[in-house]
């Protein structure tokens, strides 16, 4: 049967009319789905009994609990969800990251009071990924199917700590811009008055810079954008990130420069640091040149290359890289900050349960 979760207000109004209800029942459905987070039609008590019965005969709500969970020593939690794609039953993972005492929020610069305890959920937008980045464990899964808006929203609504979430990052499995229609639909529902009414400032969407999806995202959404950079030189970036061959990082930045990131919307860059590979002065100077046009209204996040990724890569066809040392990482951070590029070192979370950046391979289903 057809799923209601992920439908916009206009679509829910059409559902109401098709089930013999008044048009305003569409707004009631939206409230039950997105505000009250109903999991059954029986909960929708302001809709007539006959209307609820008709809805139940034709639709399912679409909520599914995670099928497995892992808890990190640092408090991070990873959840496994079962989804149905055009390629059949697949699995995806989501990561719940509580902000520790005294820790700054690293993604999704939100409008929450500073005394509110905050938590981020990292959601997936595809099962697997077809971008083929040679340093990413998720890339070894290959592409296993697009997620629907319902699949994306279900991760947000169905994790046990859903009500405590203050921020979202679309940085899990998959390339969000490669599934842009369902990503935009989920963002609309999360930010619309009829939906969850979240501020776009609480949501960050990541990309390697893929295709026309980026154009649509920048035009149709006000959420933050994070660009996976990892190497400032196009030829070298193409060796580890095949998407560079379709649209170079310079082309991505030229396009982003047409949009306003001086106010509430934020632009950030992700940069995994490998020892002796992309952490020398040559790379620091090129990063400075490349990002200078966006300064001071952008931020560069330096990411440690996780040992788990390196060990996993040795068992696959993925390219292996050495992690940089802490001294060199700090030098790179200091150099960029001193030269006008706001730079931070991102703290690794959930590495021991394969929940950190680039480590989602659905290991919980094994």
310 touches 321 (CB < 8 A): yes
Residues facing 90 on adjacent strands = 83
223 touches 213 (CB < 8 A): no
d(CA 287, CA 256): 16
What does 46-82 look like in DSSP terms, one character per residue? TS-HHHHHHHHHHEE------SEEEE-TTS-EEEEEE
Closest CA to 45 of 65, 31, 34, 58: 31
CA 152 vs CA 115, 134, 305: distances in Å: 29, 25, 27
d(CA 93, CA 354): 10
Active-site choice (2, 103, 357, 366)? 357
Active-site choice (19, 93, 129, 136)? 93
d(CA 333, CA 343): 6
136 is catalytic: no
**Exposed / middle / buried, residue 275 (Cβ in 10 Å: 0-12, 13-18, 19+):** middle
357 is catalytic: yes
Closest CA to 123 of 83, 71, 72, 73: 83
What value, to the nearest 5°, has the Cα angle with vertex 10 and ends 9 and 11?
A: 90
Strands 119-122 and 2-3: unpaired
Other CB atoms within 10 Å distance of the CB of residue 330: 13
The two three-digit tokens of residue 180, written as one number: 């842009």
Residues facing 304 on adjacent strands = 273
75 touches 96 (CB < 8 A): no
Residues tagged active-site? 93, 357
């Amino acid at each position: 049967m057809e799923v209601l979760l992920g439908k916009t207000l206009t679509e829910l109004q059409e559902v109401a009319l098709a089930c013999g209800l008044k048009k305003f029942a569409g707004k009631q459905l939206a409230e039950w789905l997105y505000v009250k987070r109903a999991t059954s039609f029986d909960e929708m008590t302001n809709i007539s009994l006959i209307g609820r019965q008709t809805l139940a005969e034709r639709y399912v709500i679409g909520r599914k609990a995670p099928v497995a969970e892992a808890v990190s020593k640092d408090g991070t939690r990873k959840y496994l969800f079962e989804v149905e794609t055009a390629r059949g039953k697949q699995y995806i993972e989501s990561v719940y990251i509580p902000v520790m005492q005294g820790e700054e929020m690293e993604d999704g610069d939100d409008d929450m009071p500073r005394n509110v305890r905050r938590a981020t959920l990292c959601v997936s937008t595809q099962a697997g990924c077809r971008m083929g980045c040679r340093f990413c464990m998720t890339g070894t899964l290959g592409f296993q199917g697009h997620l629907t808006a319902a699949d994306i929203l279900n991760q947000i609504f169905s994790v046990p700590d859903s009500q405590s979430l203050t921020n979202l990052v679309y940085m899990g499995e998959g390339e969000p811009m490669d599934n842009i229609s369902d990503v935009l639909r989920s963002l609309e529902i999360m930010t619309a008055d009829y939906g969850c009414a979240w501020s776009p400032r609480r949501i960050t969407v990541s990309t390697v810079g893929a295709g026309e999806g980026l154009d649509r995202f920048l035009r149709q959404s006000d959420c933050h954008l994070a660009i996976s950079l990892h190497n400032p030189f196009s030829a070298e970036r193409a060796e580890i990130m095949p998407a560079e061959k379709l649209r170079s990082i310079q082309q991505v930045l030229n396009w982003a420069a047409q949009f306003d990131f001086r106010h509430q919307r934020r632009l950030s860059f992700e940069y995994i640091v490998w020892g002796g590979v992309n952490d020398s002065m040559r790379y620091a100077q090129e990063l400075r040149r490349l990002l200078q046009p966006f300064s001071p209204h952008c931020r560069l996040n330096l990411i440690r290359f996780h040992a788990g990724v390196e060990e996993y890569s040795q068992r696959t066809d993925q390219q292996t890289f050495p992690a940089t040392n802490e001294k060199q990482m700090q030098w790179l951070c200091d150099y960029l900050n001193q030269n006008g590029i706001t730079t931070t070192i991102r703290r690794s979370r959930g590495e021991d349960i394969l929940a950190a950046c680039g480590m989602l391979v659905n290991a919980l289903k094994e």
